[in-house]
Structure 1
Amino acid sequence: MKPFISRTRPFARTALTGALLLSLTAVTACTATGAQESGSSTTESSSTSSSTSSSATSSRNAAEPRDVTANDFPVNITESTHPAANPPAEGELRVTLLGTGSPIPSTERFGFSVLVQAGENNYVVDAGRGAIVRLIQAGVEAGQVDGLFLTHFHSDHVLSIDDLWMTGYVPAFGGREGAFDVYGPEGVTNIVDNLREAFQNDVDVRVADGELERDTTGIEAHEFTEDGVIFDEDGLKVTMFDVQHDPADVIQPAKGYRIDYEGKSVVISGDTIPNENVATYGKDADILIHEVAAFQDRNVLPQVISHHTTPDQAGEIFAQAQPKLAVYSHFVNGIPGKVEGISDEEMIARTKENYDGEVVLGQDLMSFLITDEDIEVTDQAGLAELAAE
């Protein structure tokens, strides 16, 4: 068992015991200050958030290096202060939420995507809208991405496949040396073949112009029709498992992934209704990343809610799996201007109806470093402080 979870800060690391970290303390902090911070994910109090916001505004007005906010991240790769800009130490596993959103376009929550770093290797799970931008903001060049794993083929999970592939073979953005590998369930080959055909002109022109060597421009599909271990290299093992995206099980394929490295693990649910496989494969994982959907009126748009997992349902899955840290991503939390979502506090409270462990509301570019001793969490406030140093 990991004895504690800590939140990173520049030049210092604060260790917080489970009783003090995240989850319901976020509610307590907001209640105590009489303020509610939209988009908060953990135990940041309103005073901390106000300070961060004020600092960010002052930096922009002074045209100095900018603090980091939900919509304002450093984009210069060579100067990125994001923890993912440097490979994790030997034996450590870093997980960064590139995008935590849904099909709804958002400047705060990009399309769903997760970066997993183990040793010198960088792998991405799903490639939602804007994944390449978040990678750059995290200090990772497209050409440094070694491969992509897909959970399913809804547009909000695949829109950036071509961007990851083609930006990665451009020398200025890392210049991938070989083919771009795409792993996943049945149907991956069809997607890759059609992308290859759609963008053949780009490849041919760049090669003819002398910009690229043809063997650096490839994209290869690795399709698996059965669940189980689909990748096992350099100590990193990826296991694919079935989930269910709708009550009738019409949406196929629909998969989740468990990723293991040096005794550390992260499980990604994929888009799913409550599913026992997530609890089974998530059992005792260091981090379980689960999708979530909630509206203020629980009876609104049942056809949407029925295709996802509500906070109270996710709480039941977390209770069965007992991960060291439960993390929400792929938020379907209302529809701007049409359907009202719920507050962060209510999302936590609904989860806590069935689960008493640690819960984090994920943010774009939030990063988790899993070590032998703990899980270090760097949220947007932490990124702002790092950028300000």
Structure 2
Amino acid sequence: MDTTVTLTGTGTPLPVPGRAGPGTLLRCGEWAAQVDAGRGTVLRLAELGLRCPQIGLLALTHYHSDHLVDMADLVLTRWVQGEFDPLPVLAPEGPTARFARRVLDNWEDDIAVRSHHGGRPTPPALDVRTFTPTETPTTVWRSGTVDVSAVAVRHEPVEDAVAYRFDTSDGAVVVSGDTRVCAEIEQLARGVDVLVHEACRTEVLRARGKDFIADYHADTVELGVMAERAGVATLVLTHLEPGPTTGDEANTFAEEVRRGGFSGQLVVGEDHTTVPVSSEPVSSTAAVD
């Protein structure tokens, strides 16, 4: 298959060994898009055999630090590796777009010395494409055979958080970003081949007194209900909260999603989990139910 989805990071703000910060890579032939750039994204791409100049689009879901902290590394490494054209960046207008426009400000001195010493013709640059999130899916990008649409999601009090859908010649992929289970995601993901969605064991978090986390993330059982109703073929869980450190803990995520009634292919994501956008089996060491 020409189109695959790979998790470059399945973690959260709290570091868990083996889980980089949130990120999802879509590869469609020679074209590649990265959704979010959490800690360790550039290293994960290198482990996958990708150089940063091969990323043709960076799509940002919202402005939480765990989703953006490696963005400067991605842009600067792309430049150091010899790509001088601006990196196209999709961002919802508001705090996320403001961050994207300012992401290189703290690196002015480094850029100046590298430009002079290495004879680089231009400084690194971003082509930030912004849009206003809406409650219904809206096309925000087209490139060759790939159409990208976005919808506002429910991550309040975070403003202007979005999910993205990629329609390719092989099928459709939705990446949720951070959100509660909501009708907007269900509409965007209806009938998709692959839904990459954050997953939160809210019962566990509430028992630990972490209601403020559970309140704005996707409950696993509710996610199973929604994904089944939307007709999702393959559901891939990422941004796992609380971060599992054993296989048994990871399997509990799957058990709770199944309790919600989801009957499709289910993957509890690990970093490097790769899913073809087709009916082919999943290729990874991830827990598959």
Superposed pair shares fold, TM > 0.5: yes
Distance 1:260 1:274 in 2: 22
352, 373, 386: which one aligns with 2:258: 352
Counterparts of 2:98 and 2:184, CA distance in 1:
27
Contact 1:144 1:176 (8 Å CA) reproduced: no
* 1:291 and 2:201 aligned: no
Match of 1:108 in 2: 18
Q: Which residue of 2 aligns with 1:322?
A: 231
What is the DSSP-based 3-state SS (H/G/I as helix, E as strand, rest coil) of the residue aligned with 2:140? strand
Matches within 5 A, 1:177-192: 177-187=84-94, 188-192=96-100
Distance in structure 1 (CA, Å) of the matches to 2:247 and 2:7: 21
1:129 paired to 2:12 = no
Alpha-carbon distance change, 330 to 198 in structure 1, aligned in 2, over 3 angstroms:
same
> Partners of 2:284 and 2:32 in 1: how far apart?
20
CA offsets per residue over residues 92-118 of structure 1, 9 Å max, x none? 311110001111112211100001111
Q: Residue in 1 aligned with 2:242?
A: 333
CA distance in 2, matches of 1:381, 1:349: 15
Instruction: Describe the superposition over 1:315-371 as per-residue Cα deviations: whole angstroms up to 9, x where unpaired.
Output: 1111121111111001012598xxx99723332222112222221101100111224
Give the corresponding residue for 2:282: 377
Distance 2:126 2:243 in 1: 37
Deviation track 1:164-201 (CA, whole Å, cap 9, x = no partner) reads 00001113xxx224011211101344213322322122
**Residue in structure 2 matched with residue 145 of structure 1 by the alignment:** 55
Task: Label 1:268 to 1:189 Cα distance change in 2 as closer, same or farther (>3 A).
Answer: closer
Task: Tell me how far 1:299 sits from its aligned partner.
Answer: 3.0
| 2:280 match: secondary structure | strand
Amino acid at match of 2:178: D
- Give runs of ≥4 in structure 1 deviating > 6 Å: none
Alpha-carbon distance in 2 for matches of 1:274, 1:312 = 10
TM-score normalised by length of structure 2: 0.90
Counterparts of 1:275 and 1:178, CA distance in 2 = 38
Find the counterpart in structure 1 of residue 154 from structure 2: 244
What corresponds to 1:120 in structure 2?
30
Match of 1:200 in 2: 108
Instruction: Using CA pairs under 8 Å that are at least 6 residues apart, name the structure with larger relative contact order, 1 or 2.
Output: 1
Q: CA RMSD in A?
A: 2.2
Partners of 1:334 and 1:342 within 8 A in 2? no
**Code of the aligned partner of 2:43:** V
Distance in 2 (CA, whole Å) between partners of 1:98 and 1:191 is: 21
State, as a whole percentage, how many aligned pairs show the same letter.
28
Alignment partners' CA distance in 1, 2:216 and 2:160:
14
Contact 2:199/2:220 (<8 A) preserved:
yes
Q: Is the 8 A contact 2:3 2:170 kept in 1?
A: no
Across the two proteins, how many residue pairs are aligned to each other? 280
Sort the Cα spacing of 1:306 and 1:204 in 2 relative to 1 into closer, same or farther, 3 A. same
Q: 1:252 to 1:360 in 2, by over 3 A?
A: same
1:233 deviates by 1.1
Long gaps (5+) in structure 1: 1-88, 383-389
CA contact (8 A) 1:243 1:278 kept: yes
- CA distance in structure 1 between the partners assigned to 2:117 and 2:8 by the alignment: 33
| Aligned residue identity for 1:343 | E
Q: Which runs of 5+ in 2 are unaligned?
A: none
Q: Which amino acid aligns with 1:330?
A: H
Q: Structure 2 matches for 1:225-240, cutoff 5 A? A: 225-227=132-134, 228-240=138-150
Question: Could you tell me which amino acid in structure 2 is paired with residue 353 of structure 1?
Answer: R
Cα distance change, pair 118–239 in 1 and its aligned pair in 2 (3 A): same
Letter of the 1:230 partner, please give it. Answer: V
Alignment of 1:29-178 (within 5 A): 92-171=2-81, 175-178=82-85
1:148-172 deviation line (CA, Å, top 9, x unaligned):
000001000000110000001113x
Aligned equivalents of 2:250, 2:17: Cα separation in 1:
18
Question: Helix, strand or coil for the counterpart of 2:118?
Answer: coil
Aligned: 1:253 with 2:188: no
CA distance in 2: counterparts of 1:312 and 1:153, whole angstroms: 26
Residue pair 1:282, 1:288 contacting (<8 A) in 2 also: yes
**Structure 1, residues 12-68: CA drift from partner, whole Å, max 9, x if none?**
xxxxxxxxxxxxxxxxxxxxxxxxxxxxxxxxxxxxxxxxxxxxxxxxxxxxxxxxx
2-structure distance, mates of 1:272, 1:226: 14
Q: Distance in 2 between matches of 1:381 and 1:363?
A: 6
Highest CA radius of gyration, 1 or 2? Answer: 1
